[in-house]
Chain A
């Protein structure tokens, strides 16, 4: 009995071997594009909350890559890492959003530009 056949039905067959389905590269490509989009969002958006949301998007991209690697290597280390990502994301959400609320109370705006004290 092939160990690889234990994958659920949705899962592709033997990923690293024959190209019957998506390879590691395809997932990494999706991950890279998502990371890029998150980065672009972080840079362009001025709303503090959206900026944090974009960091979550980048976390998510990293998560996809980690899961893909985990599947590629047929172990669960990558998934363990994703648990860390989730942990950090949760912690960040809690702290960062608390900070955002504080900042909003101080200036009554979520504009990141309103906190620029070095005007050039």
Chain B
């Protein structure tokens, strides 16, 4: 933590963040969400200053700030916006900003998968349900909001608890990440190249690193695989051998490898999924199948309205009718019918 950022400033930022979030929550009276947003932004800024104070020379680049700020700001708005539709849309914004961070982290496949699956599919489902399950619009209010949307529950307690958790987590992350060492054994380092010899040969051929067409990839005598040894430090090599029977071999150092001779992110994920975790993808498939079945069963289930809710609904309707008869302009009284009753 001390190496990463100033703890005092960080905890102050947490406190101000809690204040901002609590202020930004929807409440019964006037909701000072703007103030809350400003305070929240101030908290983010304070955290940034904390980072800057601790390591002035180690600030991440501009894109990180843009994406993380958008992601967090949208997340804040997502949880504080009184209207569910807007919440969902802000959530989409969070997803999009997150994909930016994913891209920075060289996870292009996951970034696009996120946009397609999350922003495209899941969030559309949410929007459908929000529209399905909302009370119908009236003349006065275009989009009806329930009281449960307009008033948050215990904003102060929740934001204090949440920011205590944030502070604790971040402190631990700081200590943990500074102690964490890269394990070269775990690094992938394009070691799957030995299972795609044709691609390697094509790349080598294109880069004109093969003397002629009779040359191919050499096979390692010890493990029987193609002799390609990429290394993290760039000291790796690959061996090519001639097929003219002479057994002549030639070593190509890693630094001389063509630029295309590396696995793309999508290929890496694919290898990780199929090669390292073949059972996992099956389980994921089963989960999706089961959820599909469950959704089908649930949606076909006939649901009776709760007795009390039904009574209330009937009472609402009746009061609306009575309002019509008495000519009272009530919130439920539709003006047209009311006039008709009076006439």
Least CB distance from B315 to A in Å reads 13
Q: Does B195 count as interface, using CB distance less than 8 angstroms?
A: no
If A95-B291, A113-B148 touch, does A7 touch B106 (CB 8 Å cutoff)? yes
Q: Does B273 count as interface, using CB distance less than 8 angstroms?
A: yes
- When distances are taken between beta carbons in the complex, the residues of chain B under 8 Å from A108 are 135, 305, 309, 313
Render A92-114 as a binary contact track against B, CB cut-off 8 A, 1 for contact. 11110111111011111111110
Q: Does B35 count as interface, using CB distance less than 8 angstroms?
A: no
Render B213-246 as a binary contact track against A, CB cut-off 8 A, 1 for contact. 0000000000000000011111000000000000
A90 B117 Cβ-Cβ under 8 A? yes
B21 A19 Cβ-Cβ under 8 A? no
Interface-centre pick from A8, A22, A101 (highest chain B CB count, 10 A): A22
C-alpha gap A102/B294 in the complex (Å): 13
C-alpha gap A39/B22 in the complex (Å): 13
Render A32-74 as a binary contact track against B, CB cut-off 8 A, 1 for contact. 1111111111011111011011101100100110011011111
- When distances are taken between beta carbons in the complex, the residues of chain A under 8 Å from B15 are none
**How many residues of chain B are within 8 Å of chain A by beta carbon?**
121
Least CB distance from B119 to A in Å reads 11
**How many residues of chain A are within 8 Å of chain B by beta carbon?**
89
If A2-B234, A12-B60, A90-B121 touch, does A83 touch B284 (CB 8 Å cutoff)? yes
- When distances are taken between beta carbons in the complex, the residues of chain B under 8 Å from A93 are 122, 125-126
C-alpha gap A47/B147 in the complex (Å): 9
If A41-B79, A63-B114, A105-B305 touch, does A16 touch B295 (CB 8 Å cutoff)? no
Q: Does B327 count as interface, using CB distance less than 8 angstroms?
A: no
If A36-B166, A87-B288 touch, does A47 touch B232 (CB 8 Å cutoff)? no
B309 A106 Cβ-Cβ under 8 A? yes
B291 A100 Cβ-Cβ under 8 A? no
Closest chain A residue to B58, Cβ basis = A19
A73 B187 Cβ-Cβ under 8 A? yes
Least CB distance from B88 to A in Å reads 6
A40 B288 Cβ-Cβ under 8 A? no
- When distances are taken between beta carbons in the complex, the residues of chain B under 8 Å from A22 are 60-61, 64, 104
C-alpha gap A91/B126 in the complex (Å): 13
C-alpha gap A105/B47 in the complex (Å): 45
C-alpha gap A91/B236 in the complex (Å): 43
B269 A79 Cβ-Cβ under 8 A? yes
B68 A30 Cβ-Cβ under 8 A? yes
Least CB distance from A71 to B in Å reads 4
Within 8 A of A (CB), among B250-283: 254-257, 259, 261-262, 265, 268-269, 271-273, 276-277, 280-281
A1 B256 Cβ-Cβ under 8 A? yes
Beyond known contacts A20-B58, A90-B291: 20 more, CB 8 A cutoff: A1-B255, A2-B233, A10-B63, A21-B64, A23-B177, A24-B177, A26-B68, A28-B173, A38-B79, A39-B165, A43-B153, A43-B158, A44-B159, A53-B87, A53-B91, A67-B110, A83-B269, A83-B273, A98-B299, A108-B313
Binding site for A on B (CB under 8 A): 4, 17, 21, 25, 47, 51, 55, 57-58, 60-61, 63-64, 68, 71-72, 75-76, 78-80, 84, 87-88, 91, 94-95, 98, 101-110, 113-114, 117-118, 121-122, 125-126, 129-130, 132-135, 146-149, 151-155, 158-159, 161-163, 165-166, 169-170, 173-174, 177-178, 180, 182-183, 186-190, 230-234, 254-257, 259, 261-262, 265, 268-269, 271-273, 276-277, 280-281, 284, 287-288, 290-292, 294-295, 298-299, 301, 303-306, 309, 313
Closest 4 CB pairs of A and B: A41-B79, A22-B60, A19-B58, A91-B291
